[in-house]
Amino acid sequence: MGTQSATGRVNQKLRTRTAIVQAAAELSRTGQEVTMPEVARKALVSEATAYRYFPDLLSLLTEAIAGQLPTPAEALIAVADSADPVERVAAVTEFLLRHVQARQGVVRAMIAATVVRPAEAAARPGLRFGMIDHALAPAVESGSVGPAALEQLKRDLAVVVSAEALFSLTDLHGLDPEDAISSLLHTATTLTRAALWDAERPAIRAGRAPTRRPHTDT
């Protein structure tokens, strides 16, 4: 009886933990605000119970969204055959920002948690970095942009292709989400074109490449 009772308790704890994780995962897909009280309500447990299984919202959300994160290949599926860095950067920029907008509740919750505890920022997915690397892979392979310039471009894009940039434009500047996404898409492609133009100028001066001014339209 003792063994059966212990097994029953273990199974019940597992079911409770699973219910909490599933509730958080379901809420994260809605785009609505995600809080521990709301997760507990949806999981049909008390908030205190939820905190017994997860010390904070960040640790819960990290586990809950683990299977939901898109890959760089998914972000570039529409331009998978393109080797144009500008086109590829445009694709990942729009993909990521629309992903953030659709799931802004969980994104905001994770940002808020790591703002007050920056040491735990590594718990955030950091999708932008992998997507930017994948978008610029053809430029790396061709050597069309030098290593230092490429790293600078990646840092520049990481500021623009981000949830923080999107929320700054919608929350602080009052832009409609579509206008905010368009603005950031314009900035990301402009940065990329400028980096490519700067890389071409030495060859142009030496007469080894055609003169091509960078476009700024999107």
Domain residue spans of the chain: 2-64, 72-205
Tens digits of residue pLDDT in 72-127: 999 999 999 999 999 999 999 999 999 999 999 999 999 999 888 888 877 788 89
Query: Which structure tokens are listed for 17?
Result: 């933990």
Q: How far is CA 95 from CA 14, 79, 129, in A?
A: 35, 12, 13
Q: Is 176 exposed, middle or buried (0-12, 13-18, 19+ CB in 10 A)?
A: exposed
Helix (H, G, I), strand (E, B) or coil at 171: helix
Name the more confident of 218 and 124: 124
Decide if pLDDT at 214 tops 70.
Answer: no
Q: What is the pTM of this model?
A: 0.85
What letter would DSSP give residue 197?
A: H
- Does the structural domain 2-64 have CATH classification 3.40.50? no
Query: What does the alpha-carbon distance between residue 98 and residue 108 come to, in Å, rounded to a whole number?
Result: 14
Q: For 47-62, what is the mean pLDDT?
A: 96
Tell me: the pLDDT tens digits for 122-161? 778 889 999 999 999 999 998 888 899 999 999 999 999 9
Average pLDDT over residues 171-182: 97
Give the residue, 21 or 6, on which the prediction is more confident.
Answer: 21
